[in-house]
């Protein structure tokens, strides 16, 4: 599961001449769902969306999440986050979950956000519709989230094992560095 999170001062989704979702300050999240996504991917992205500290608290930057700041969330389904452009000039969307199953998956994701946070603060676009998304990016702050990290790029199980080993080595080096220079809280 992938998401593009943007900190916004305002955002809205329009279908035709109807505004179907609108928020003030908060985050706008474009959500892509792959064929292989599970409930674990959904929970990972939901917790990241609600927990990432992208807002200021008092005068300190990067200290509050959307939940901490009691702000709003606008979720927009975005299958094109799984578009591959490596061959030819036409994007390939075969990695995206098919619309009949992704609609329920997206609805479940939005419901999960509501249960973890506050349903009244969660807005959405209209699944499957041609939407116009308008937003004012604050910062600008834009982050890419991916529940699978390295596994989408792995060519085979051997490559996946190599990627996992690289990540483990990187974390080990970081932990040694943190002992010398502790990270600030």
Q: Which residues are the active-site residues? A: 78-80
Give CA–CA dist 105/99, Å, rounded. 10
The one-character DSSP state at 91 is: -
User: Which residues lie below 8 Å from residue 7, measured CB to CB, with a gap of 6+?
Assistant: 26, 27, 54, 55, 137, 138, 139, 140, 141, 142
31 with 125: CB under 8 angstroms?
no
DSSP assignments along 12-62, one per residue: EEEETTEEEEEESSEEEEEEE-BTT--HHHHHHHHHHHHH---EEETTEEE
């Amino acid at each position: 599961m992938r998401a593009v999170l943007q900190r916004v001062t305002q955002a809205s989704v329009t279908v035709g001449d109807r505004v179907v979702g609108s928020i003030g300050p908060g985050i706008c999240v474009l959500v892509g769902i792959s064929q292989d996504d599970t409930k674990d991917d959904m929970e990972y992205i939901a917790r990241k969306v609600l927990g990432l500290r992208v807002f200021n608290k008092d005068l300190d930057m990067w200290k509050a999440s959307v939940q901490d700041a009691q702000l709003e969330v606008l979720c927009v389904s975005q299958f094109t986050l799984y578009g591959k452009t490596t061959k030819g000039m036409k994007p390939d969307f075969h990695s995206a979950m098919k619309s009949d199953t992704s609609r329920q998956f997206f609805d479940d994701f939005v419901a999960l956000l509501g249960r973890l946070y506050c349903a009244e603060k969660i807005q959405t676009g209209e699944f499957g519709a041609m939407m116009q998304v308008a937003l004012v990016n604050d910062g600008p702050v834009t982050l890419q989230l991916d529940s699978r990290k390295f596994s989408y790029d792995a060519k085979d199980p051997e490559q996946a094992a190599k990627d996992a080993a690289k990540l483990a080595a990187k974390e080990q080096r970081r932990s040694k560095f943190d002992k010398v220079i502790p990270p600030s809280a």
